[in-house]
């Protein structure tokens, strides 16, 4: 994707997952914690 800079984080994470950079469990947990847990 060329427009991966403007797409939502969820989409970016899915792309990263496809690239094999992030595990399934890791990226979802990170997004949840990043949004909910600020500490």
The pLDDT value recorded for residue 28 is 59
What is the model's pLDDT at position 7? 59
* pLDDT value at 11 more than 60: yes
Q: Could you give the CA distance from residue 37 to residue 14 in angstroms, rounded to a whole number?
A: 21
2 has a pLDDT exceeding 70: no
Confidence at 15, pLDDT banded by 50, 70, 90? confident
Task: Give residue 9's region: left, alpha or beta (phi > 0; psi -120 to 50).
Answer: alpha
pLDDT value at position 10? 74
């Amino acid at each position: 994707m060329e427009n991966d800079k403007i797409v939502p984080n969820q989409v970016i994470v899915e792309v990263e997952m496809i690239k094999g950079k992030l595990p399934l469990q890791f990226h979802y947990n990170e997004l949840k914690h990043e949004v909910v847990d600020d500490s």
